[in-house]
Structure 1
Amino acid sequence: MSNKQDRLIRWRLILGSKSNVECNSLTSDEITIDRLLEDVYNKKYTSLTNSGHLKNWLKNIRKFFPAETVRVIQKDVLERFDLKELLLLDPENLEYVEVDVNLVADLISLNSAITEETKEGVREIIKRLTGELQKKLKAKMIQSIKGAINRSNRTYRPKLKDIDWKKTIECNLKNFMPETKTIIADKFVGYTRGTSSSLHNIILCVDQSCSMTHSMIYSSIFACVLGSIKSVQTHLVLFDDSVVDVTSELDDPVDILFKAMLGGGTDINKALSYCQNLVQQPSKTILVLISDLEDAGWLSKMQEIVNSGVQVISLLALSNEGVPFYDSSNAKKLANMQIPTFSCTPELFPDLMATAINKKDVSMWAAKKEIVTCI
């Protein structure tokens, strides 16, 4: 096949059967691909509203497209023809979907429609996603947090067993005596370890309204990773117009997400009041509010928490989705309170938390990462 003919066929498949692109006859595989795409992009109505047809379509697109492309097409068909609930009617449909954050977000938002027949299939999909995300994000999170805690717990009056000899030697190289080839140490560097007073308290306070579903998924993953680090006390608090503390379930993100109830109102003040009661050592506490800030009457409570000495960060979103929707007025008021306010990708979140633990300037960190903050 010539390059020209190959390009014509590609354009024919892109533009559909109603295009004016002229090319030789399509192969049987190309005809199948054409029909699969026609069902999504060139029809006002689709046969995919039939559960059996949807199952076959989901099965077939995986034969002809790579996983990343399947995710895009799958998302388009579910949204264009509002097939999300239909997906849950037949357990076999769930066997052929390509798992990604968008799909899990859709399933969580439809939890009230999950039947007993599809419950296990939905759990398996959530388990697959959380497993993939943990594998991708866990190592960096643990490395960043443990390194940050070690640095923040550094002391210059360590006990013998807690001396960091490498750092101690580096700090005393100026005292090297060539004649005896020894170093006279006048400063020792070590860590304070193993005491409850050294624990960092991290509170993730997450809005579980429908617009924040992606953020809730990533927050649950990170909370579970943080919960596995002994030198950190982690709390995960979900809220809408009520507050649910799911800290006791941090060993399994699947349970957290499967039980999430989305779609209620938003009461940030109630959520902050609950989180305030979790604070034992304000100077050792980091509160991360993850919300689009769509509520009123809570800013005075936030100011109270900040005044107590708690380090507060406001994330408008924790996801890879573009620019988030949020209340710009409330965001600017938080920024005026010197609270770093911006959205963050999951890949940058471990470094963000390490920066906060080390009490470095989070806004400066965001600027270096070219993150647009609310000023």
Structure 2
Amino acid sequence: MTDPTLERWRLVLGAPASAVGPLGADAAGRDAALDWLYGRDGDLDKRDVRRIGGDGTSVLTTVDWLTDISRLFPHETVERLQRDAVERYDITDVVTDPTVLETITPNPALLRAVLQTKHLMNPDVLRLARRLVEAVIRDLMTKLATEVRAAFTGTRARKPSRWKQARDFDMTRTIRANLGHYRPDERRLFIETPHFFSRSRKHVEQWQVILLVDQSGSMVDSVIHSAVTAACLWGLPGVRTHLIAFDTDVVDLTSDVADPVELLMKVQLGGGTDIARAVRYAADLIEQPRRTIVVLITDFYEGGSPVPLIAGVRALVDGGTKVLGLAALDTDANPAYDRDTAQHLANVGAHIGAMTPGQLAAFVAEQVAG
């Protein structure tokens, strides 16, 4: 039997390392699956590397490959392989072939791929792809909704409450008040009277939160998280949410905020960028500037002169509106952006940075709470 460490090196190096000995059945399958994907890397020739599996004679189809990697690799590796297939090697049939879509496991990388290729899909394929979008968004909503809503929940006060809710259970006071009911022989404390904290409610006035989302191709992660964040903010007390997508045109998607799947299926990624136009559109929506937050989510690469953009942001800030410029809104908050334009906007009073959706929710909640 081949040593597991040597076998892993054999999988990394391919046929040139065949001297370590033959591969087992599963390892041979992994080797063929890796070669199907990474064997097409043009950089291998430049480095004089020949990664040829050579352990099987069959030619894998995309469906076969997806089936094999799901069987042979752990879940995290499968997601990485699928992401590389779509993003690194442009294997679009991973999300445009109906046979593939019926078998594939939804994950965020495939959601990004669907949004970038949905214009290539016929209606039947699009319906299958939509199911993938729904599955990923449902998972994101489950994770994010609690985080967003927690930012708007009142803090606990150190005084008793008549309302009995598990989240407000006062363990220390309850134990102290019921020590007389402790039974040493059973080593149990019997609770006769439970005690609870009160929860102070934040005084909330109506605020407008206007999300302006750059739908250029490089912002796909931020578009996804903007849609989910807007859906989580929708209906919260004291917050009226708008979601605007823009490239060189401006599209108001507020009517679809409650349905992030429908919203994302309407987004058209790519095209030029006119950030100033989006800022002007936001200015027309504002009813009470001092109770408005404009969140500009973009890489700040303006298609034309940045002067109108800077003037527009200055006008919003001077009128009392809080302007938050985010170079990224996703789970990693890793920004790539035009630092010069971002600095100009910071100089006229905008807050510039990158945030996770939870951090954005906390920022909005802080402003709303006053």
Question: TM-score scaled to structure 2, two decimals?
Answer: 0.78
Specify the alignment match of 1:37 in structure 2.
Answer: 34
| 2: CA distance, partners of 1:146 / 1:286 | 19
Contact 2:292 2:322 in 1 (8 A): yes
- Provide Cα deviations, 1:134-184, integer angstroms capped at 9, x if missing partner: 01110110110244xx89xxxxxxxxxxxx89499xxxxxxxxxxxxxxxx
| 1: CA distance, partners of 2:9 / 2:40 | 18
- Provide Cα deviations, 1:254-313, integer angstroms capped at 9, x if missing partner: 000011112122111111111112211222111110001111231101100011101111
Task: Please state if 1:233 is matched with 2:240.
Answer: yes
Specify the alignment match of 1:335 in structure 2.
Answer: 346
Task: Please state if 1:128 is matched with 2:135.
Answer: yes
| 2: CA distance, partners of 1:346 / 1:230 | 18
Q: 1:335 to 1:353 in 2, by over 3 A?
A: same
Specify the alignment match of 1:260 in structure 2.
Answer: 267
| 1: CA distance, partners of 2:21 / 2:107 | 37
Contact 2:203 2:369 in 1 (8 A): no
| 1: CA distance, partners of 2:158 / 2:109 | 48
Which residue among 209, 222, 239 is the counterpart of 2:216? Answer: 209
Gaps of 5+ in 1: 152-163, 169-188, 360-375
Structure 1 residue 15: Cα displacement: 2.0
Which residue among 52, 55, 67 is the counterpart of 2:75? Answer: 67
- Provide Cα deviations, 1:100-147, integer angstroms capped at 9, x if missing partner: 322212211222101112011110011011100001110110110244
Contact 1:219 1:318 in 2 (8 A): yes
Specify the alignment match of 1:17 in structure 2.
Answer: 15
Using the TM superposition, name which of 217-226 and 267-276 deviates more. 267-276
Q: 1:166 to 1:202 in 2, by over 3 A?
A: farther
The aligned amino acid for 2:150 is: Q
Structure 1 residue 239: Cα displacement: 0.8
| 1: CA distance, partners of 2:7 / 2:102 | 31
Which residue among 103, 118, 140 is the counterpart of 1:111? Answer: 118
Gaps of 5+ in 2: 43-51, 53-58, 162-199
Specify the alignment match of 1:300 in structure 2.
Answer: 311
Kindly report which structure 2 residues correspond to 1:1-375, keeping only aligned pairs within 5 A, or say none. 5-19=3-17, 22-44=19-41, 53-84=61-92, 86-147=93-154, 166=159, 192=203, 198-295=205-302, 296=306, 297-320=308-331, 323-358=334-369
Q: 1:261 to 1:190 in 2, by over 3 A?
A: closer
Structure 1 residue 347: Cα displacement: 4.5
Question: TM-score scaled to structure 1, two decimals?
Answer: 0.77
| 1: CA distance, partners of 2:71 / 2:150 | 39
Q: 1:294 to 1:190 in 2, by over 3 A?
A: closer
- Provide Cα deviations, 1:204-256, integer angstroms capped at 9, x if missing partner: 11111111111000000010110131321111111111111111112210000
Contact 1:71 1:99 in 2 (8 A): no
Contact 2:298 2:325 in 1 (8 A): yes
Secondary structure of the residue aligned to 2:354 is strand
Identity %: 32
The alignment covers a number of residue pairs equal to 313
